[in-house]
Amino acid sequence: MQMKRSKRPFDWLVLTLSLVLCTPSAAMPQTPTLEFVGQWGGTAYAIDIDQTAIYLAVGPRLLIVDATDPSAPVEIGRSAPVPSTIVDVAVHDGYAYVTAKLYGLRVLSLTPQTSPTEVGSLLPGDCALGVCVAGDIAYVADRYSGLLIVSIEDPAAPEVLGSIEMEDAARDVAVDGDYAYVADSGGAVRVVSVANPAEPV
């Protein structure tokens, strides 16, 4: 029995394309090699400012923006990526102290501003979320490990001086004089005396 040929050209077009696409070919294109060439934008979690310079955490990078003219800010530098998303930043004496969750406290030199470079780090007890700097001490909200008090006398080698646990997860910290104010996930502010950094109360 002879099969009837379809009178619809569309049927033949579909059949022809199906045969072409399903037939193996030695000339198939190679998988392209992807190369990272730049980044602009992304999720921004933290910001700090020093005079007319804005320090903005965008994903795993620290961006430096010149805001001499606030109506037309201009990016002047950015760091290489740190190992995780930056969730807080504090700038002090030519260094940026950033928290990178499970990768702890990272210290970036801001000299030159066009190319901030990591010079030191401190792994967290749990997960570094917030940071505040006063003098030569960094205060790190380290989630379930509580508040870490860190000497940054040598920014390349931060060292824990003392710590204190919170009732819940420490999320952020601010310091005024001899007191640290810690925001925790239980909806409270914990007030900690840091007059003796080795024995916070």
| Residue 29 confidence (pLDDT) | 66
DSSP character at residue 59: T
Across 8-17, 150-159, 192-201, least confident range: 8-17
Across 37-41, 125-129, 144-148, least confident range: 37-41
Query: For the structural domain made of 42-193, what CATH number should be given?
Result: 2.130.10.10
| Residue 41 confidence (pLDDT) | 63
Mean pLDDT score, 190-195: 97
> For 174-191, how does the pLDDT look when each residue is reduced to its tens digit (9 = 90+)?
999 999 999 998 889 999
Asked if residue 3 has pLDDT above 70, the reply is no
Distance CA 44, CA 40 (A): 11
Q: How many helices (H) and strands (E) does the chain have?
A: 1, 15
Q: Take residue 43 and report the two structure tokens written for it.
A: 């999720």
Cis-peptide into 112, omega within 30 deg: yes
> For 39-92, how does the pLDDT look when each residue is reduced to its tens digit (9 = 90+)?
556 788 999 999 999 999 999 999 999 999 988 889 999 999 999 999 999 999
SS3 149: strand
**Max Cα separation, the chain?**
100
Distance CA 140, CA 14 (A): 64
| Residue 1 confidence (pLDDT) | 47
| Residue 72 confidence (pLDDT) | 87
